[in-house]
Amino acid sequence: MTRFSRIVNGPFFARCCVAGLAFFAWSALGISSAVAGDKVEQPIEFPHDIHAGKMGINCMYCHTYARRSMVSGIPPLQKCIGCHQNIPSVRDHPRIQKLFEYWEKKEPIPFKKVHDLPEFVRFNHERHIQRFYFWQKRPVQEVCGFCHGDVKTFTVAEKVKPLTMGWCISCHQKDHLINATGSETGHGPHDCWDCHK
Amino acid sequence: MSITYMLRDWTHYRSTHPSADINKDHPEGYKWAMAIDLDACTGCNACVVACYAENNLPVVGKEKFAHGFAMHWMRIERYWNDEDIETPQHGAQFMPMLCQQCEAAPCETVCPVGATNHTPDGLNSQVYNRCIGSRYCSVNCPYKVRYFNFYNYPEQEHAWPDPLPMQLNPDLTVRTKGVMEKCTFCVQRLYEAKSKARTDGRLVKDGEVTTACAQSCPTGAITFGNLLDPYSKVAKMWRQQRMDLYKDVQDKDRDGNPENIRGYRVLEELRAYPSIIYLERVRDAQA
Amino acid sequence: MGWSGASLTVAGCGFTSIESGVETVESYVQPQDFVVPGIGIYYATTCTQCGGGCGMHGRVREGRVLKMEGNPETPNRGRLCGLGQALVQHHYNPDRLKEPLLRQGGTLQPTTWNNAMALLAEKTKNAGDKFALLTGPLSGHLKVLAQNYVESLGSRNHFIYDPLATKVNRSVSERMYGVAMPCYHIDQAQLVVSFGADFLDTWVSPVHFSSQYADFRKANDSKARGVLVQIEPKMTVTGANADRWIPVRPGTEGALALGLANALLQDPAYAKNVPASVAASVRGYDKTHVGQITGINSEVFDRLLALLRERTPSLVLSGPSAEGHVHGAQNAAAIMLLNFVLGNVGKTITAPARVPFPQMAPADGDTVALNAFNDGLMHGRFETVFMHDVNPVYTAPAFLQLKDNLKKAGFKVLFTHYRDETAEESDLVLPLDSALEDWGTHIAAYQPEGVTITLQQPLMERLYPDGTRSFGGLLLELLKQHRPEEYKQWPDYYSYLQSALTKNKSAFKDPAADDGLFWYQTLSHGVLNVAAPQEQHLSATPGIVNVNLPAASAVDQEFPFQLVPSVRSGFRDGRHANLPWMQETADTMTTIVWDSWVEIHPKTAERLGIREGDILEIASKTGSVKTQAYLFPGLDPDTVAVPLGQGHEAMGRYAKGVGVNPFKLLAPSFENATGELAYYATRVKISKTGDRVTVVKDEGWRPGVLSTQQGRKIVATMAADKVKLFREE
Amino acid sequence: MNDFNKDKEKDIRDDIAWAQINKDVLQSIEKPRAAFWYLFAFAGALFAIGVGCETYQYLRGMGVSNLNTPQVWGLYIASFIFWIGMSHSGTLLSAILHIIHADWRKPIYRFAEAMTTFSLMTAGLFVLVHLGRLWEVYYALPYPNERWAWPNFQSPLNWDATAVFTYLTSSMLFLYVGAIPDFAICRDNARGWRKQFYTVLALGWMGTDRQWRNFRVSYMTIACFLIPLAVSVHSIVASDFAMSQQPGYHVTSLPPYFVAGALYSGCAAIITLFIVLRHTFRFEEYMTFPILDKIARLTFAIAMVWTYLNFIEYASVWYGDDDYAKQVLIQKATGPYAPFWWAMNFLGSVLPFTLLSKKIRSNLTAMMIISLLLNLGMWLERWMIVTPTLSHDYYPWMLDHDQWPSFVQWGIVLGSFGWFGLLFMLFCKLVPSVSMYEVKEMVYHRTLSHRHGHAAHAREA
C-alpha cells in the first residue's frame, strides 16, 4: 500500500499522467492546429480596414458571389473601378494608380489565395451565408468573420482560423438556431460527402 | 467522444437499413435511384464517354488496360446468348453496369476506416481522402464495379498531358494511387442541385438534375431521379414495374410474375437492395 | 467571357494541406453578369465530329470548357454520342498544332503567319485552273466562302471528299424517290428491315435515329413494339440490337430484296403499288434461286416475308454493306424498290424540306472526288493545292498511289489541327482553331425536322491565341487578296456571319425585330429554324423500274474471303484516332481497346486452326496488313472484318503506331453507276504469321471463349408478345 | 541412431546432472560459429529483397504487384493467414500441454513459443504491405482525434488487427515470463555485456519460494488466458472471409477450419525447427526421438482434423444449393489453379499418412522433408482460399481476370521468410532455446517416479 502510494505520488508517474493527458487534449481538441497563416504578399495591398472598417461596406457588396455560389471568388476588377472612377480624391494613391494600370491593360490582378483548402474539400460559401445571414439574420461581418477573422483590422486578408477538419466539426456539431424568430435549432451535416469530394 | 456521431452517422444506416420506412431512412427527402431499360440500350458507349468526361476518369493506356486496370465507372458488357452462339440471330446482349448504390451495401460494412458509407440521400459514398486502400470493399462487391487506383494516374504519360488537365471537372478530385473509386451517381451534380434548391427553400424538382450517363444516352434508356418524389419519372417506373426498394423478392416475382413485368434487379437474391432497376431486354419470337 | 479565373489543381487527394499564399486566384476583369465563379455556364454550339450536325451545349467554368451536352432544340433532342462528348479532347489535345509549319530543306519548319499568308498570296496569284481545293463535306457560310474563293481564282477544281460517303445511297434515292435524302420515320414504322444500314451507330445521323429507335421500340395502345431485322455480312451495333440478325453473302443483298419483292408481288394487294413491269422484272427471283445466291435458307426467308406482310407500315433501309459493291446501285435500287412494293413511301419515308439558300446547302462529299483529284495530280494538272478537313494520304486506298501523285503538285497547303500523314506530305501546314474556338454555320445533310441551321460559336478563348486561326477567317482574308472591294466590309469571319444571318433574318421562324436581340437569341439557342420551308416531292412510282443484278461471281480460290472494312463510331474515317477517350472506350461488339483486329467466325477459325490473338496477315491484291485475330460469331463465315480508323503513321501520341489501316487493302473496284469506291468488294486471303499476342479487351480473359452470362440473370430477356403494356401515368 | 533404442521408452534420460543441463543449453547461446553468420547473411539478403520490392511498390503503386480488379488480394493476404497460422502451435504446445501437464513439451516449448511470436510479427507486416496507402494507415487506429472520425468497428479487418495485436503482446509476455528463471541462470553464468543484458531480463530472480509461487501462478494465468485467445485469433482471421458474402469465402465452417489449419502448419514448423536445433546445438539429450515421435503423432491427428474439416467444406458446398459457391469449387478443381489446389489436398491430407510408419517417424531426414512439404501444402491452402474465389465469383463479366503474381509479390513473400529467419536466429543466440529449469523438473520427476518404482518391488519381495 505504502509503496503503491509512493509510486503514485512519485514524480515519474505524475509526469506520465500529464503527458498522457496532454496527448489526449492535443489529439482530441485539435489544439495543434490553431495556427494562423503569415501575412501574404499581394500585388495590391487591399485595405480591408478602410473598406470594411472605416466605410463599413457590406462584405457582400464586393464579394458578391459568396451568397450565390460555392466559391466566393475575388470581386471583379470592374467592381473596384465602378466606385473608384467616381472618387477622384484618392486617384493619386499608389494602390489606386496600380489598380487603374491593371484596368487600362484589361488584365486580371494576380491575387494570392489566402484561404486555400485541400482540393478534396468542398466548402460551400452559399450555404453558410444563406444559413447564418439570410435565415438567422446574424450581422454580416460576424458571419464572414467567423472563418475569415475580423477583417476590419486587416489590410490584406490573413488566415487567422485553423480551417482544419476538427475546427469545422467543432462548429458543425453545435446546435444553431434555424432562423431569427423561431427557437428551432439544428446542427451542420456530418455526412462525409457534404464536405469531401 | 464522437462515438455518438459514429453510431448515428454510420451504424444507424447499417443496422437499420433497410428498415420498413423509406422516408425514415432518407430524412432529407431524397432517395436517388435509377431505371435502365435494356430494350432501349443499344450499347453505343455514349454513357461511358460521358462518365469519363464528367468524373475525371483517367485513360490508362493499352499496357495497363491489359493488366485489368481500366477505370471505367460505367462499363458496357456484351454477352452472347448461349443458344445461338454459333450465329447470334437475336443479336447481342448489352449490359450497362455501374455502381448499384445498394441500400445495404456489402462494401460499406467491411471498410476498415469507413471510407465508404451511406449518405442520407441514399447514396453509397466513397470518400477518397479517407480511403487507405485495403480493397476489402472491392472483394465484397458482387458487381465488381469498384475500381482501384493501382498507379498514380495523374502522373501517367497517358492520362492528362497538357493541356488536357484544363478539361478536368473542378467539382471533384482527381484520385491518386492507392485510392478506391466508383460511380457516385454524379454526386457533384446532385450536391449543386440540392444546394440550389435549398437556397430557394424547396426540394430538387424532377429533371432538374441528372447523371452524365442518363443525360447523354441517345435512346434515353437511363432514367435518374428522386424515388421519394412520387411524381418523378423514376418513381413512376419503379411503381409500374412493381419494384420495391426494400424487398429482396419482389411481390410480382413471388407469384411468378404472371403479368410479365420487365423490372428486375441484378443479383437481387444477395439482399444488397440495389438502387438501380433494369427493365428486361425484349426480343420478338416471331422475327 | 474572360479566360482569367481558372486556377486548377491536378494534385490528388494525398499529401495536401491548408495552404496560404501559394496558388493565385485571379479576378475577372469585366465579367458578364451571368458569369459566376463556381457555377457552370452553357453555351450553344454545333458538333463537328460527324455529318450528323447535332446541336450541343458546352459547359464552361472559369473560362474553361469542360463538357459537351446535347442541345434539346435540335434533332438530337438533347442527346449526344460518345464521339460528340470527346470533342473537348480535340480542343485540349496535346498534339494539336500550335504554329504554322513550312517545308524548308525537306523538313517542316516553324514559320510565322505573315510569312504563310504572303506565300499563299504569291502561290495563288495567277494559279487559275492550276489551283485545286480538296475539302471534306461543307455547308453554310464556310461553303459559300470556299466556293467563292475557288471561283475568285478562276479555278473549277473544288473537290469535296468524304471517305465514308453515302453517295450511292443518295444518288439511288434521287432516282428512286426523287430526293437525295428522304426523311425516314423509324419511330412510326412497325417493322424496320435494314440491309446493313447501321443507323444506331454510324449511319447518317445516329443520335437522331437512336432517339427515334427508342420510340420505335416502345409499345403503346396505338402501336405495337417495332421489330428490327438487320441483314448484313458483319454484325454492326444495329445488328446487335435486331430482333433477327441475318448474315448474308456480301453483295447479294439486292437479290434477297428482289426475292422478297417477287414473293410479295404474287399478291395483288401489293402488285397494285408498282407498275406491272416491276413484277415482270423480278419474276426470276424465286425463293430457291435467291436461296442459292444469298445463302439464306427458306425458313428464314419465309419468316421475313411473313413479317413484311403482317407489319405495316414498315421501312426498308439500304446501307453501305449493300451499296459498297460494283453493283451497289443495283442493290440499293432493289432494296428501295421494296418500299414502293410495301407502300411505305409517303408513310415512313417522307419528303424533306428544301434548303432555301442553295449556295449554303450542304455539299456532301464522295470518293469520286478523290479519284478526280488524284487523276488531276497524276497528270500534273495542279500547281497549288489546298486541303482542309481531309487526310487523303491516310484514307486513300493504296492502289491510287496518291502519296506519290501528291508530290507532283508544286505547292501543297494543308489546313488542319494535327500534323497527320497528309501534313507530312504538305509544303505548308496551317493550324486551325478547334471546333470550340471557331465560328460557323452548319446545315446537316439530313434534315428530319424542317430545315435547321445550327450555329457554331467559340466556348472559350483560343488556347494558342497567335498560333491558330479560323478557317473561315482565313478564307475571308484570302478572298480579300483577290476581291478586296467585295469583302473589305467584314473585318473577320464573325462579323461576316453576323451580318449575313441578320440580313436574311426574315427567312427564319419568328425572328426578333431588333437585330441585336435576334443575334443574341440566335447565339443562345444555337439554332435557326427556316420559316415555312417548301416540301420537296417524292415520286409516286419507283424511278428505276427494272433492276438487273449480275450473276453471283464464282468463288475466288486465291482470295477466299470477303473483306468488311467496318466503321467504328469512335474513329469514323480515322480522323478521331488521337482522342484518348475513343481509344480507351471498348469497341461495342468486341470490347477491344487501343488496337486493330480482324474478326473471324469461330467455325472458320477452327477450320484454319486460328486461335484468338494469333497475328494474321490479311492480304488483298493491292496490299496487306498484319493484326490480331478475334473470334466473332456475328459474321458471315466467308467474311473477315477489319475496323477502319487505326494504323496512323503520324497525327499524335495516341494514334501513331496503333493498329493497322485497312483503307490500304481496298481493291481497285468501283461502283458502276456512280463511280464510287466499292468498299465492300475487296477479297482477301489470310495466313498465320506464327506470332501470338493477348488481345487487350474488357470482356473475360480466357482467349477465344465467347463471354456469356454463365446462366446467371444479368441481362434478362422477355419475348415481345408477353410484354405488358403501360399507359403513361 | 544406435542410441535410439536406448531412450525410446523415456522422453529424457533421468540421470542427467543438472549442471550438465545448464552446460549443454548454455553452450547453445555462446559465441556463434561462422556458419551462423553465413545463414544470418542469407536471411538478411532475403529480407532485403522483400524490403526492396515493398519500396518499389510503395513508390510506383500497387499495380506493380500484378494485382488487378477483381484480383485485389493475391499472395499478400494468403501469406498473412499463413504466418498467423504458423503462430498457433507454439501456444498449443506451451499453454495447452502445460495445463494438461504433458511434460514432454518441456524441452521444446521455448522455441515453439518464440516461433509463435516471430511469425505474428511477420504476419503483421503483410497487413501493412497490402495497403494501397500505407502512409494513411493510422486512419485504421481507434485513437481520439480532432477530426472526430473513427475506424469502422464493423469491419472484420479491424477485429483482425485487434485480435492479432492482443495475441502478439500476450504471447510475448508468455515467452518472457516463462524464460525468467532461465535468464537468471544465464545471468549467473554470463560475462561481459551479456551479464548486464541477462541481469536486466532476469528481473532480480532469486529463486526464492515466494518468487516461485508467484511465478507459477502468473505463468498458469497467462497460459489460461492465451488458449481462448489463440483460438479466437484465427477464427477472426477466418471471419475476414466468412463474414464477406463472396462464394467460397462465405462458409460457416471456416473458423474451425482455419484454426485446424493453423495448428497443422504450426506443428509441421515445430518439427522442422526441432530437427534443425537438435542438429545444430546437439540437443540429442533433450530433443529426443520419443518427443519427436509424439509431435509427429500430434501432427498426424491434427492433419486428420484438418482433412475432415476440409472435406466438410467441400461437402457442404457440393450438397448445398449455392450454385455460385459450387462453381468456385469446380473452378478450384479444374480451373487455372487446379494444380495448386490438388497439390494442397495431396500434401495436406495424403502425405501425413507417411507419419504412421515408425521408421519414417524416427528418420530425421525424412521428417525434415515431410514437415517442409506439409508447410508448403498449408501455404498453398491459404492461397487457394484467397485467389480462386476472386477469379470466379458472382459477376460473369469479371470472371477469370487472372494474373500471375509479379516478382514484387513473390519477393515480399520471400522477404517475410528472411525476416522470420533473422528474428529466430537472434533468438537462438540470446535466449536459451531449451527451457533449462523445466527440463530439470522433468528429470527430477522421472527420478522420483523411479525411486517409487523400486520401493514397490522391494515390498513385493
Question: Which amino acid, C324?
Answer: G
User: Per residue in C624-674, pLDDT tens?
Assistant: 999 999 999 999 999 999 999 999 999 999 999 999 999 999 999 999 889
Listed residue (B133, B119, B69, B125) closest to B99, CA to CA: B125
Q: Choose among D161, D390, D394: nearest Cβ to B142.
A: D394
Q: Is B93 on the interface with C (CB under 8 A)?
A: yes
Measure C709 CA to nearest chain D CA, in Å: 6
> Does B241 reach chain A within 8 Å, measured CB to CB?
no
From chain A residues 9-38, the ones with a CB under 8 A of any chain D CB are 24, 27-30, 32-33
Report how far residue D109's alpha carbon sits from residue D223's, in angstroms, rounded to the nearest whole number.
12
Q: Hey, are the CB atoms on D327 and C710 less than 8 Å from each other?
A: yes
Chain A nearest C-alpha distance from D193 (Å): 28
Q: Which CATH number fits domain C167-347: 3.30.70.1380, 1.10.10.10, 3.40.228.10, 3.30.70.270?
A: 3.40.228.10
| Backbone region of residue B114 per phi and psi (left: phi > 0; alpha: psi in -120 to 50; beta: other values) | left
**Whether D68 and B150 lie within 8 Å, measured CB to CB:** yes
Cβ–Cβ gap B148/D244 under 8 Å:
no
- Check if C712 contacts D (Cβ < 8 Å): yes
Distance from CA of B89 to the nearest CA of A (A): 46
CATH number of B3-279: 3.30.70.20
Tell me how many residue pairs between chain C and chain D have CB atoms under 8 A apart: 24
Contact between B52 and B72 (Cβ < 8 Å): yes
- Contact: B236, C241; criterion CB under 8 Å: no
CB atoms C710 and D402 under 8 Å: no
Q: Which of B68, B112, B178 sits opposite D152 (nearest CB)?
A: B112
Find the CB nearest A173 among B5, B117, B128: B5
Q: For A117-127, how does the pLDDT look when each residue is reduced to its tens digit (9 = 90+)? A: 888 999 999 99
Is the pLDDT at A31 greater than 70, yes or no? Answer: no
CA C201 to chain centre: 9
Shortest CA gap D255–chain C (Å) = 30
Distance CA B281, CA B78 (A): 13
Q: Give the other-Cβ count within 10 Å of A101's Cβ.
A: 12
Which of C701, C709, C710 is facing D402, going by the closest CB pair?
Answer: C701
Residue C366 β-bridge partners:
C161
Domains of chain A, residue spans: 2-33, 48-74+111-195
Between the two ends of chain B, the Cα-to-Cα distance in Å is 67
**Which residues touch C524 (CB under 8 Å, ≥6 apart)?**
C44
- Record the cell numbers describing residue C139, joined without a space: 455547308
Residues C676 and C326: beta-carbon distance below 8 Å:
no
Q: Is C66 on the interface with A (CB under 8 A)?
A: no
Structure confidence at residue A2 (pLDDT): 42
D89–chain C Cβ distance below 8 A for any pair? no
CB distance from B8 to chain A under 8 Å?
Answer: yes
pLDDT computed for residue D454 by the predictor: 54
Residue B36, CA distances (Å) to B164, B225, B279 in order: 32, 12, 6
Nearest C-alpha in D relative to C709: D396
In degrees rounded to 5, what are phi and psi of residue C326?
-60, -35
- What string of DSSP letters covers C38-77? TS-EEEEEE--SSTT--EEEEEEETTEEEEEEE-TTSTTT
Q: Are D394 and C712 a contacting pair at CB < 8 A?
A: yes
Exposure string (b/e) for A64-100, b if CB count within 10 Å is 16 or more?
Answer: bbbbbbbbbbbbbbebbbeebeeeeeeeeeeebeebb
Contact (CB<8Å) B216/C707: no
Q: B265 to chain A, minimum CA–CA distance in Å?
A: 26
Q: What is the predicted pLDDT for the residue at A32? A: 42
Give me the phi and psi of B60, to 5 degrees please.
Answer: -90, -20
The secondary element (H helix, E strand) that includes residue D375 is helix D364-391
Q: Where is pLDDT greater, at C325 or A180?
A: C325
Instruction: Label residue A136 left, alpha or beta by phi (over 0 means left) and psi (-120 to 50 means alpha).
Output: alpha
A165 and D146 in contact by Cβ < 8 A? yes
CB interface of D with C, residues 387-416, below 8 Å = 394-397, 399-402
- Rounded to the nearest angstrom, the minimum Cα separation between B221 and chain C is 8
**In whole angstroms, what is the distance from residue A126 CA to residue A135 CA?**
12
Query: Which part of chain C is CATH 3.40.228.10?
Result: 167-347
Radius of gyration, alpha carbons of chain D: 24
Q: Which of the other chains make 3 or more beta carbon contacts under 8 angstroms with chain C? A: A, B, D
pLDDT in tens, D292-340: 888 899 999 999 999 999 999 999 899 988 889 999 999 999 988 999 9
Q: Which residues contact C160 (CB under 8 A, 6 or more apart)?
A: C135, C136, C137, C138, C363, C364, C365, C366, C369
Which residue type does C180 have?
A: A
pLDDT of residue D87: 87
Question: Which of 1.20.1090.10, 3.30.2020.30, 3.40.50.740, 3.40.50.1360 would CATH assign to domain C118-163+360-434+444-451+462-529?
Answer: 3.40.50.740
Q: Please give the distance of CA D341 from its chain centroid, rounded to a whole number.
A: 22
C9 closest CB neighbour out of A71, A77, A119: A119
B284 near C CB under 8 A: yes
Is the CB of D139 inside 8 Å of chain C's CB atoms? no
Q: Does C520 touch chain D (CB under 8 A)?
A: no
- D:315-374 residues touching chain C, CB 8 A cutoff: 327
Query: What mean pLDDT do residues B263-286 have?
Result: 91
> Is-contact C578 C602, C-beta < 8 A?
no
The DSSP secondary structure of B152-185, one letter per residue, reads -GGGSTTT--TTGGGGS-TTSPPP-TT-EE---S
Contact D459, D45 (CB under 8 A): no
Domain boundaries, chain B: 3-279
Nearest to B1 among A28, A126, A191 (CB): A28
Number of Cα atoms under 13 Å in the Cβ half of residue B107: 32
For the beta carbon of residue A5, count every other beta carbon within 10 angstroms. 9
* pTM flag (> 0.80): yes
Q: Does residue B207 belong to the interface with chain C, where contact is any CB pair within 8 Å? A: no
Q: Is D121 exposed, middle or buried (0-12, 13-18, 19+ CB in 10 A)?
A: middle
Which pLDDT value is given to residue D5? 44
Calculate how close chain C gets to A175, using CA atoms only, in Å.
26
Rounded CA-CA distance A161/C262 in Å is 86
pLDDT bucket at B11, cuts 50 / 70 / 90: low
The three cell numbers locating residue B15: 443496422
What is the distance in angstroms between the Cα of D392 and the nearest Cα belonging to chain A? 33
Q: Which three cell numbers stand for residue B149?
A: 487506383
Determine the Cα–Cα distance for residues C294 and C256; give it in Å rounded to an integer.
7
Q: How many helices (H) and strands (E) does chain A have?
A: 10, 2
Whether C94 has its CB under 8 Å from any CB of chain D: the answer is: no
On whether any CB of chain B is under 8 Å from the CB of D128, the answer is no
8-state DSSP, D455 = H
Return the partners of chain A (3 or more C-beta pairs < 8 Å).
B, C, D
Q: Decide if D446 contacts D439 (C-beta within 8 A).
A: no
Q: Which of C279, C321, C293 is nearest to C194 (CA)?
A: C321
Cell 496551317 found at: C430
Question: Measured between CB atoms, does A1 come within 8 Å of chain B?
Answer: no
User: The dihedral of CA C535, C540, C545, C549: what is its sign?
Assistant: positive
d(CA C641, CA C644): 9
3-state secondary structure C296-363: CCHHHHHHHHHHHHHCCCEEEEECHHHHCCCCHHHHHHHHHHHHHHCCCECCCEECCECCCCHHHCCE
CA angle B31, B32, B37 (to 5 degrees): 130
- A172 inside 8 A of chain B by CB: no
CATH class of C561-692: mainly beta
Interface test with B, best of D54, D135, D150, D385 (most B CBs within 10 A): D150
A197 lies within 8 A of chain C by CB: no
Cα(C40)–Cα(A70) distance, integer angstroms: 11
Strands ordered across the beta sheet of C440-442: C440-442, C452-456, C527-529
Mind listing the pLDDT tens digit of every residue in chain D (461 residues)? 444 444 445 777 777 777 888 888 888 888 888 889 999 999 999 999 999 999 999 999 999 999 998 889 989 999 999 999 888 877 777 788 888 888 788 888 888 889 999 999 999 999 999 999 999 888 988 888 887 788 888 899 999 889 999 999 988 999 999 899 999 989 888 888 888 899 999 888 988 999 999 999 999 899 888 888 888 888 999 999 999 999 989 888 899 999 999 999 999 999 999 999 888 888 888 888 888 888 899 999 999 999 999 999 999 899 988 889 999 999 999 988 999 999 999 999 999 999 998 888 888 999 999 999 999 999 999 999 999 999 888 999 988 888 899 999 999 999 999 999 999 999 988 998 888 888 888 877 777 766 665 555 545 44
Tell me yes or no: is domain D67-141+150-403+431-460 CATH 1.20.1630.10. yes
Contact B132 D68 (CB under 8 A): no
Looking at residue A20, its pLDDT comes to 65
Mutate to test the interface with C, among A38, A70, A71 (most CBs of C within 10 A): A71
Q: Is D138 on the interface with C (CB under 8 A)?
A: no
Name which of B2, B171, B199 is nearest A197 (Cβ-Cβ). B171
CB–CB of C133/C149 below 8 Å? yes
Q: What is the mean pLDDT of each run of 10 residues along chain C (729 residues)?
A: 33 52 81 86 93 92 91 91 94 94 92 92 87 93 93 91 92 90 93 94 93 90 89 94 92 91 91 87 88 89 92 93 91 92 91 88 92 92 93 93 91 94 94 94 90 92 92 92 89 92 88 90 91 82 76 76 93 93 94 94 93 94 93 92 94 93 92 91 92 91 83 90 68
| Residue whose C-alpha cell is 438533347 | C78
- How far is it, in rounded angstroms, from Cα B116 to Cα B176? 17
Strand partners, C58: C43, C68
Is B202 at the interface with chain A, CB within 8 A? no
C266-269: long-range contacts (C-beta < 8 A, 24 or more apart)?
C267/C309
